[in-house]
A and B are shown apart, each in its own frame.
Chain A
């Protein structure tokens, strides 16, 4: 079931990557040192979401433990596009090259050793997203671009990814700005996810990824809204069956590769997603509990 795979023209050592925003490789490198690159768990590394301007993130509290999972309201803290390109990108390239040298990289291409970098970007208008895509397109170190469309469009008030027609326009605008593989990270918080996947495909997306977190909220012990951001996103085993249903429905509808994720804790869960049509599987919240779990899942898939 695993071993090297091709995904959107990229050669990957195996089928397991990370969900955006669930693994800060630069922070982990500081904490774990060279062991991280020696045992790098992912066959491609997806950055956290990058926006045009820096963001501090939401006020605390940012976490709530839910039945069988967690709700996060982090608010996409990041250094902004310029900060990402100047500060984070060189460090990511260095660590992904080391991980590649240790045998976790792709086998071919311009930089045969590196673990490919997928940069995730988000904007609140199609124009902003296209601008971010264009900037990423200029950087050879970035292998592919993932669009986070789970963000309200400031012009329409609708989540960009929640409406097929709006999503198609946005992906078209981004498609024009890059020849790199373009992955659309679908939102699960909409009525017809397969229709959104189809819209992304017809606008030229090379792949779709799902599911993002499910919108959720929690009241604290005093009955007040707990999270600083008001609502947050539910992840973990609690959403695994929802993810399986959505991945299956999307894989039936589109012919581009699907990256499946949601509540994956073990190889069996990854296999389920692959069985219903996912080409790659992403691990998210489970890496919080065990930073090496994705590597173990990849190993078990290959066995």
Chain B
């Protein structure tokens, strides 16, 4: 189960069959039959596009495939977490059982397991909690691995997404569920309790930047899964550039999406994704 090595991605996009799209508060969980995939490493992603009616939506979009972290693997199935924020994500949310889905992947660099027996703190915000679910599965499959899950959401409807992971402490911006305030306030408590922990984070850029800054201040190793607009997912378009420490850019698809926090001076908020 906890295979941390990544095989080369298949060159051909694969036509998968949708098993279902289930509501999870403000989100949807897309389940597809996915038998002959190389096992995705936690943090890896796929480029998804509906086989039919991909285009011709709002503003004659979508055109490009959309990048999604693999949220979970079950025998013969892959799961993806969706939020309707534009014509591409809307079409994916509207998929019905039996429809076709193009998938290119698994792509990118995934998470690295913590060294020794250090506790893993998983920090997720919004739809960015997706890769932490498959990470939690992999970590908890290891003996004697302690995992703490902290998730932040804008409101109560989104906070229902916390059910994707097990045993999460939740913070909401509006106070409707769990801690009323910032996710980083919960993170500070956990780090103070166990300064030898390692942090795995995914979420909106401002949240990731707050996590990065806090971990840097307290010398806690952090791996950040970034989101960025990308046309291809395999290094061809150079669209998903984020500034790296010391100048120049990294390609999120190729060098990430999981980056060591030390690779970044800050998490850039400009790499918006085609929605």
Residue of B whose beta carbon sits closest to that of A41:
B11
Residues of A within 8 A of B274 (CB): 63-65, 70
User: Residue B115 at the A interface, CB < 8 A?
Assistant: no
User: Residue A57 at the B interface, CB < 8 A?
Assistant: yes
Q: Are A70 and B64 in contact (CB under 8 A)?
A: yes
Closest CB in chain B relative to A246 CB, distance in Å? 21
Binds B, one of A31-39, A149-157, A162-170, A252-260: A31-39
- The total of interchain contacts (Cβ-Cβ below 8 angstroms) comes to 128
Are A36 and B238 also in contact (CB < 8 A) when A68-B60, A289-B65 are? Answer: no
Residue of B whose beta carbon sits closest to that of A38:
B11
User: Residue A287 at the B interface, CB < 8 A?
Assistant: yes
Closest CB in chain B relative to A93 CB, distance in Å? 19
Q: Are A33 and B8 in contact (CB under 8 A)?
A: yes
Residues of A within 8 A of B9 (CB): 31-32
Q: Are B249 and A27 in contact (CB under 8 A)?
A: no
Closest CB in chain B relative to A229 CB, distance in Å? 12
Q: Are B234 and A28 in contact (CB under 8 A)?
A: yes
Residue of A whose beta carbon sits closest to that of B108:
A31
Q: Are B235 and A61 in contact (CB under 8 A)?
A: no
Q: Are A74 and B239 in contact (CB under 8 A)?
A: yes
Residues of A within 8 A of B247 (CB): 56
Residue of B whose beta carbon sits closest to that of A58:
B241
Picked from B62, B65, B235, B237, the residue with its CB within 8 Å of the CB of A63 is B237
Chain B proximity mask over A15-55: 1 for CB below 8 Å, otherwise 0? 00000011110011011111110010000000000000000
User: Residue B10 at the A interface, CB < 8 A?
Assistant: yes
Residues of B within 8 A of A34 (CB): 8
User: Residue A187 at the B interface, CB < 8 A?
Assistant: no
Q: Are A63 and B11 in contact (CB under 8 A)?
A: no
Q: Are A288 and B254 in contact (CB under 8 A)?
A: no
Per the bound structure, the CA–CA distance linking A185 and B182 in Å amounts to 52
Per the bound structure, the CA–CA distance linking A24 and B47 in Å amounts to 17
Residues of A within 8 A of B62 (CB): 65
User: Residue B192 at the A interface, CB < 8 A?
Assistant: no
Closest CB in chain A relative to B258 CB, distance in Å? 15
Q: Are A31 and B270 in contact (CB under 8 A)?
A: no
Per the bound structure, the CA–CA distance linking A69 and B59 in Å amounts to 11
User: Residue B228 at the A interface, CB < 8 A?
Assistant: yes
Residues of B within 8 A of A30 (CB): 235, 254
Chain A residues packing against B (C-beta within 8 Å)? 21-24, 27-28, 30-36, 39, 56-57, 59-70, 72, 74, 77, 220, 228, 236-237, 285, 287-292
> What would 25 A/B residue contacts be, using CB atoms closer than 8 Å?
A21-B238, A24-B235, A27-B234, A27-B235, A30-B235, A31-B9, A31-B254, A36-B11, A61-B270, A62-B239, A62-B240, A62-B241, A63-B231, A68-B63, A69-B63, A72-B231, A72-B237, A74-B239, A220-B272, A237-B63, A288-B236, A289-B231, A291-B232, A292-B11, A292-B12
Chain B residues packing against A (C-beta within 8 Å)? 8-13, 47, 49, 55, 59-65, 88, 102, 104, 107, 228-232, 234-243, 247-249, 251, 254, 268, 270-272, 274
A sample of 5 more A-B contacts (CB under 8 A), given A32-B234, A287-B232, is: A24-B238, A32-B9, A33-B8, A61-B229, A289-B63
